């Protein structure tokens, strides 16, 4: 059996205020073409189908078109919910979907698989929706013995441990090969700063790799870059770049082959990037040079300019050269990182007017105070004020 493992479509997400629907549609068209050309039997979407619990109409339209195109290839589609999804909205039409499309959002059904057969017999797919401990703890124990008081499930690690025990119960009841699908942080992953929502407290909610023992393959979602935790436990990442922090991470899916004995092979299938991302660093004039403009005119651009002082209308000037400049940041070169006091703390400690002005300049210039020439001008202005007041 041939399986395509994808996740984190985040339909409806914006990129620095820009819609991503058209770009995602282009990438999903390429994914459908891969399903057809590689004779994929089952397509897995491991959570975060939508980016919001209340998607706009256009997001539903894109999902409907993608599911219809995948269905027309003859592949079975199995989707689970992620932390961005609304279980009620994603699962509402699950009973009305056409044969071969399965949306798994109910924690009560974890032990009941979707079964797909090939020449070697059945393959059982166990879908684990994103599990919020506060919601599921009232229904589950942590495998306590009869008569014992079950411990309270407080962390992702605990609820995922219990969910996987239900999967293993289902494997015992349904003989054959098996695949688990989940949406969580697993031990050993590298996250993208500021992107993947923190669903752990310290390290307590990092799900141990041993929790996923049992199935022939575990398809994980939630991390936006592809990662291999073991031969049989992997993240596929998102099909589209949603942050400049992801710009160097390849986009794609895992192509997974199962033979009669279980996992046989895994291959990475890269997806196209509709618009490349680039971060340009230097003075504003250096960033705006002709060479950069020619090379990156069609790219999403993050400009980090290092001029000592903020420049006038930097975004307007950047977009004249880079129509798709999405983000501009001012990070003065050589800024003093040693003084970590806040502006209010610096101001309270200032005694003279010179020190108050210096505190203000360090605040607006990211830690860089007055230059020697500016300091001289400041002293001259303050001296003029003192002389003028003396004449009143």
Q: CA 173 to CA 185: how far, in whole Å? A: 28
Answer yes or no: is 70 within a domain: yes
By DSSP bridging, strand 76-80 and strand 42-46 are: parallel
Q: Residues 218, 126: contact at Cβ < 8 Å?
A: no
192 with 128, same domain: the answer is yes
Q: Count the Cβ atoms, other than its own, within 10 Å of residue 243.
A: 19
For the segment 106-149, what is each residue's pLDDT rounded down to a tens digit? 899 999 999 999 999 999 999 999 888 877 877 775 554 444 55
pLDDT > 70: percent of the chain = 85
Answer yes or no: is 12 within a domain: yes
Residue 179 tokens, joined: 């695949």
Answer yes or no: is 335 within a domain: no
Please spell the DSSP secondary structure of 124-138, one letter per residue.
EEEE-----HHHHTT
- Specify the higher pLDDT residue, 205 or 240: 240
Q: Count the Cβ atoms, other than its own, within 10 Å of residue 294.
A: 9
The whole-number pLDDT of residue 136 equals 80
Answer yes or no: is 337 within a domain: no
8 with 151, same domain: the answer is yes
Q: Residues 224, 6: contact at Cβ < 8 Å?
A: no
pLDDT > 90: percent of the chain = 60
- Which of these three, 230, 250, 270, is where a domain ends? 270
106 with 247, same domain: the answer is yes
223 with 115, same domain: the answer is yes
Q: How many domains does the chain have?
A: 3
242 with 369, same domain: the answer is no
Q: CA 29 to CA 232: how far, in whole Å? A: 27
The whole-number pLDDT of residue 14 equals 93
Q: Residues 226, 254: contact at Cβ < 8 Å?
A: yes
161 with 218, same domain: the answer is yes
CATH number at residue 290: 3.30.160
Please spell the DSSP secondary structure of 59-77, one letter per residue.
HHHHHHHHHHHHHHTT-EE
Nearest partner of 262 among 128, 123, 165, judged by Cα: 123
For the segment 16-65, what is each residue's pLDDT rounded down to a tens digit? 999 999 999 999 999 999 999 999 999 999 999 999 888 899 998 999 99
- Specify the higher pLDDT residue, 11 or 206: 11
- What is the distance between the terminal CA atoms of the chain, rounded to a whole angstrom? 93
6 with 75, same domain: the answer is yes
- Which of these three, 330, 355, 374, is where a domain ends? 330
262 with 357, same domain: the answer is no
Q: Is the pLDDT of residue 214 over 90?
A: yes
The whole-number pLDDT of residue 131 equals 86
- Determine which helix (DSSP H) or strand (DSSP E) holds 117, and give its type and residue range: strand 114-118
CATH number at residue 64: 3.60.21.10
Range of the domain at 311: 277-330
Q: What share of the chain is helix, strand, coil (3-state, %, to 5)?
A: 35, 25, 45
Is residue 56 classed exposed, middle or buried when 0-12, 13-18 and 19+ CB atoms within 10 A define those classes? middle
Residue with tokens 């014992």: 148
Q: CA 353 to CA 73: how far, in whole Å? A: 73
Q: CA 185 to CA 275: how far, in whole Å? A: 28
Nearest partner of 110 among 28, 36, 168, 194, judged by Cα: 168
382 with 322, same domain: the answer is no
The whole-number pLDDT of residue 40 equals 98
Answer yes or no: is 143 within a domain: yes
Q: 220 by DSSP, 3-state: which? A: strand
């Amino acid at each position: 059996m041939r399986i395509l493992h994808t996740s984190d479509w985040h339909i409806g997400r914006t990129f620095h205020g820009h819609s991503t629907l058209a770009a995602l549609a282009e990438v999903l068209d390429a994914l459908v073409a891969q399903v057809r050309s590689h004779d994929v039997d089952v397509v897995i979407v491991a959570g975060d189908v939508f980016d919001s619990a209340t998607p706009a109409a256009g997001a539903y339209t894109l999902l409907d078109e993608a599911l219809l195109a995948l269905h027309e290839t003859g592949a079975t589609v199995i989707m689970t919910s992620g932390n961005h999804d609304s279980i009620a909205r994603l699962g509402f039409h699950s009973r009305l979907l056409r044969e071969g499309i399965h949306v798994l959002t109910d924690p009560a059904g974890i032990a009941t698989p979707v079964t797909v057969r090939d020449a070697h017999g059945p393959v059982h797919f166990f879908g684990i929706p994103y599990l919020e401990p506060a919601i599921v703890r009232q229904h589950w124990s942590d495998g306590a013995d009869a008569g014992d008081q079950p411990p309270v499930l407080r962390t992702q690690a605990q609820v995922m441990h219990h969910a996987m025990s239900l999967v293993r119960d289902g494997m015992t009841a349904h003989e054959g090969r098996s695949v688990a699908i989940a949406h969580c942080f697993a031990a050993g992953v590298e996250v993208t700063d500021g992107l993947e929502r923190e669903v752990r407290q310290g390290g307590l909610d990092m799900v141990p790799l041993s929790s996923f023992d049992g199935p022939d393959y575990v398809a994980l979602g939630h991390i936006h870059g592809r990662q291999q935790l073991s031969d049989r436990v992997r993240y596929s990442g998102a099909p589209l770049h949603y942050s400049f922090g992801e710009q160097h991470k390849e986009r794609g899916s895992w192509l997974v082959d199962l033979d009669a004995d279980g996992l046989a092979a895994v291959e990475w299938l890269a997806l196209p990037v509709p618009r490349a991302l680039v971060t340009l660093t230097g003075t504003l004039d250096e960033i705006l040079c002709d060479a950069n403009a020619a090379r990156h005119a069609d790219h999403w651009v993050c400009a980090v300019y290092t001029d000592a002082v903020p420049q006038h209308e930097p975004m307007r000037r950047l977009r004249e050269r880079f129509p798709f400049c999405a983000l501009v940041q001012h990070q003065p070169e050589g800024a003093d990182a040693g003084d970590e006091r806040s502006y209010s703390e610096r101001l309270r400690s200032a005694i003279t007017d010179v020190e108050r002005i210096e505190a203000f300049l360090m605040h607006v210039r990211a830690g860089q105070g007055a230059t020697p020439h500016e300091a001289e001008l400041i002293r001259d202005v303050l001296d003029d004020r003192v002389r003028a007041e003396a004449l009143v």
